[in-house]
């Protein structure tokens, strides 16, 4: 199982980190050990600035390589919300040096995933409101219609480079409003107004 993430997929987020707007999906991979399905998130010792990035997560349900965009919808049936935890201080340092991001993005438990829901429960998955609350205050809001690259396009692009397998997860990018989490924070994610996850930072 692998976790494929899309960077800079919402215009306002690309701008808030002073990144250029991509012309093709920016991809990176987190290893299986990054997955956090239940329980709280423990701040790692190597960073003083762990950021939250709330994202729509898609679960692949059949294997595929070089999937055509028109058929991509047949390769997933469940969606959830997740948090792409990012050691922003480390990432900025690595970016400055022109080095890969892996340490800042792929560390243990950096990919929190909430409860999976049948995509058919939603009329249009490219028009879903989602939000992150920290201590009951909304810090990030987004709508999947604002993705620069839509889910089917992302799957088509990823599968040109990486064969997708059953159980692989795709993090589809975060809207603006990323920021640091602190010990004691309670994070709750909402998809179309329904709570999808709730956990604490420790």
Q: By CB under 5 A, name the binding residues for Zn ion.
A: 53, 84, 174
Complex with Zn ion: residue 174 or 196, whichever CB lies closer: 174
> Under 8 Å CB-to-CB from 196, ≥6 apart: which residues?
80, 81, 114, 115, 117, 189, 190
| Exposure b/e, 52-73, CB count within 10 A at least 16 = b | bbbbbbbbbeeebeebeeeebe
> Under 8 Å CB-to-CB from 194, ≥6 apart: which residues?
none
Between CA 127 and CA 108 the distance in angstroms is 31
Complex with Zn ion: residue 104 or 174, whichever CB lies closer: 174
Complex with Zn ion: residue 53 or 157, whichever CB lies closer: 53
Minimum separation from the CB atom of position 4 to Zn ion (A):
11
The residue with its CB nearest to Zn ion is 84
Minimum separation from the CB atom of position 64 to Zn ion (A):
23
Between CA 191 and CA 177 the distance in angstroms is 17
Complex with Zn ion: residue 140 or 174, whichever CB lies closer: 174
Minimum separation from the CB atom of position 84 to Zn ion (A):
3
Q: Which helix or strand (DSSP H or E) is residue 95 part of?
A: helix 88-96
Q: With CA atoms as reference, report the closest residue to 190 among 155, 119, 142.
A: 142
Minimum separation from the CB atom of position 20 to Zn ion (A):
16
Residue 1, Cα to own-chain centre: how many angstroms? 16
Minimum separation from the CB atom of position 28 to Zn ion (A):
9
Minimum separation from the CB atom of position 74 to Zn ion (A):
25
Complex with Zn ion: residue 84 or 188, whichever CB lies closer: 84
């Amino acid at each position: 199982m692998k976790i494929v993430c899309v960077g800079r997929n919402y215009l306002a987020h690309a701008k808030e980190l002073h990144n250029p707007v991509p012309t093709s999906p920016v991809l990176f991979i987190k290893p299986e050990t990054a997955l956090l399905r239940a329980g709280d998130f423990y701040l790692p010792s190597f960073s003083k600035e762990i950021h939250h990035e709330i994202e729509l997560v898609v679960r692949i349900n059949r294997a595929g390589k070089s999937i055509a965009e028109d058929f991509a919808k047949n390769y997933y049936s469940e969606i959830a919300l997740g948090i792409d935890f990012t050691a922003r201080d480390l990432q900025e340092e690595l970016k400055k040096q022109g080095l890969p991001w892996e340490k800042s993005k792929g560390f243990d438990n950096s990919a929190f995933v909430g409860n999976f829901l049948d995509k058919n429960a939603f009329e249009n998955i490219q028009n879903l409101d989602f939000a992150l609350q920290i201590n009951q205050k909304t810090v990030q809001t987004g709508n999947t219609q604002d993705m620069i690259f839509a889910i089917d396009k992302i799957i088509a692009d990823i599968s040109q480079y990486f064969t997708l397998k059953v159980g692989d997860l795709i993090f589809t990018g975060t809207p603006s409003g990323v920021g640091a989490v602190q010990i004691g924070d309670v994070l709750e994610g909402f998809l179309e107004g329904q709570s999808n996850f709730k956990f604490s930072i420790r």
